[in-house]
Chains A and B, each alone.
Chain A
């Protein structure tokens, strides 16, 4: 088999906020470097940075501070975040937002006096979310895309990564083997340094919000390479995903948080408001609490015809709702629902993975030359992510990684020689479906995984359910290994891509369930019905999992190092957290 080879200094996998910032900062650090971005679809159009609605958390408003942003992040993450990462997030968010405005060209919303507008967002003690209407991500990614396209960056679009390839001599990373989706052929990109910025995304759940192209490929590749993943049990559910019935891709996409904040009602199938049964704050309780409330109603069978509950806004005045939430109203109308004047059926929906590859504040990972940024990484958010910290995470650490990678690449003459055995193994992996007998349909397998993750590894978990889930995931992995595809025209073969996507999702689902079974307390996004209490915060530990070369996952618990602040303390003067924080 002939494999095309490309040599570059810096290979970036992914073109969201992390990948695009890495490219820009690498070239700013050393303009002579050759930079390549490979992305599964089109540059800037894949992934979730573009889908950001809410905005970008940054301590820029008068009276706010990096310390305050940091404390909210730590408290929101239930003391599980790695504190040097959380600190870097809050500190560099300031520089990054100014860069987005002043250098990249983003035009964030303003107050009347012309200063940046900061909106309130759940779980934060200060109004610090910078935004562009309720479509902040489009503004950020469009402007970033323009800047990258204006520079000499090699674009490998419609290229998916099959595997990260280590050096033959064991010295570190040597590049990545890619599949050119347009032609169906392989391309080996040899690089001095590689960024993993593919954006994770919990799309293995029946209801999920992320971009449909996402399938945890980056995490699956990191696992195979033997890298440690942390906090993988921490999957955030957003309470109000749109429900459109089976076989519609729109199902699961987010109806924004502000609808509840503005006074929207959640009603069961019979039209009764139920959130007060679960929390005195009612519909305005936090994401995790509302998700569990809705899930409990669903499990009790008190649902609408499609199996969800209703969100209702009309008591606020349909015209007012249409004016305040034009994007959400139009989105529902396009699907045939009237959000302003009628009820719309919703479900909790898997939104974000707090866990991921362990990395250091300079973006480096355990493997020399391999860097990581964005949702592929773990440790920044701990047990839960604040709304507005997601895009901050990808852009802050993407930029930092780009600078680190430029320095790393400048010190090296050429890419390392790739391990030929690793390339062979990667190709063999990608070729597997063509050598198999035709088995179960991929759509049915994916639906079965989605149901299993939703039922047994979802909003509320028990040891029995998680064990059942693990066993089911193993069965499905076996079924995929017997689900062959007809060989023929491999160009733009989406069904082959579906097979590879499902392979990644199964590997990462196993890890999520394994970590969730190990964590025998409830905190943040992780809720165990058999262990509903949060354990001793001072004894907090995080889960670390490895599964090299497809081996069964091995897990250890690693104590959290409270390097800046300990539970019960605060960096903010006159305030001790842990009690009734405002």
Chain B
């Protein structure tokens, strides 16, 4: 006889209810596998989102037992200690259906924060030499490998309270740009971080850092932005 686990799954959009499925437990099973099993073998109408299935695309994040997680890399054994799974869509984003959310506001804020590079050189020029050991380069490197999964955005209470807050991921990207000496608009980008809903809104609660599946610390990046803004206010230059 196979062991099963009760899985409570949110069905519907803003209005809806939990539906419980018993899912067979297997070795090496992720939360995404559980959801897939339900859709393939029990209820073909269950909606969810995934793509790469290996922790690179950031499409499959959900709320798992109250915690935002990437589901493709979350082993069931790690999160089902109580013997039950409760799955809901990611917090702080509009719900589409069941476990799928609309990520548009997350990316709109990324743009609003100014998270886009502008270079001084063109495709006809040689690549800029950048010393890998420089302080700025190290700061950018430490924050750059974000997969924009929105787990930090869902974990952040400030995003929940203040719909204008740009959120940890967008500001983390801004910090990497401020530290990118090839970026032509570093001062403007830094100034933008001071906009309403910018880094000043962060309460340094650190939920983003605790939940980031790839181990980044947007909290530190935002603290860096605050320091850099103070420095520039005192007349310093980047």
Residues of A within 8 A of B (CB): 41-43, 45-47, 50-51, 60, 95-99, 101-105, 107-116, 132-133, 135, 137-139, 142-143, 146-147, 149-150, 182, 211-213, 244-250, 253, 331, 334-337, 441-443, 485-486, 488-489, 491-495, 498
Contact = CB atoms under 8 A, between A and B. Distances in A.
Given A112-B131, A244-B27, A248-B29, 6 more contacts: A98-B124, A102-B128, A110-B137, A147-B117, A211-B53, A335-B30
Interface of B: 26-30, 32-33, 36-37, 39-41, 44-59, 72-75, 77, 96-98, 100, 103, 107, 110-111, 115-133, 137, 140-141, 144-148, 173, 176-177, 180, 182-183
A244 B33 CA distance: 11
30 contacts: A42-B49, A42-B51, A45-B58, A45-B59, A50-B52, A51-B57, A98-B125, A98-B127, A102-B123, A103-B119, A107-B144, A108-B127, A113-B131, A116-B127, A132-B144, A149-B111, A212-B53, A246-B26, A247-B29, A247-B33, A248-B33, A335-B28, A336-B27, A336-B75, A337-B28, A441-B41, A486-B44, A493-B47, A494-B39, A495-B39
Contacts of B59: 41-42, 45-46
Contact of B45 (A95, A248, A250, A489): A489
Nearest to A95: B123
Contact of B47 (A99, A109, A112, A494): A494
Contacts of B53: 211-212, 249-250, 253
Contacts of B41: 441, 443
B117 A105 contact: yes
A47 B56 CA distance: 11
Contacts of B48: 494
A139 B144 CA distance: 8
B28 A245 contact: yes
Nearest to A214: B51
B51 A211 contact: yes
Contacts of A247: 26, 29, 33, 36-37
A150 B28 CA distance: 40
A137 B54 CA distance: 13
A51 B52 contact: yes
B180 A105 contact: yes
Contact of A331 (B73, B103, B148): B73
Contacts of A132: 144
A212 B185 CA distance: 38
B129 to A, nearest CB: 3
A50 B72 contact: no
Contact of B55 (A97, A331, A493, A498): A331
B107 to A, nearest CB: 6
A373 B182 CA distance: 30
A138 B147 contact: yes
Nearest to A109: B132
Contacts of B176: 107
Nearest to A150: B116
Contacts of A486: 44
A137 B76 CA distance: 28
A245 B144 contact: no
B148 A142 contact: yes
A101 B124 CA distance: 11
Contact of A495 (B45, B54, B133): B45
A253 B54 contact: yes
Contact of B73 (A212, A334, A493): A334
Nearest to B45: A489
Contacts of A146: 110-111, 115-117, 173
A336 B39 CA distance: 24
B127 A51 contact: no
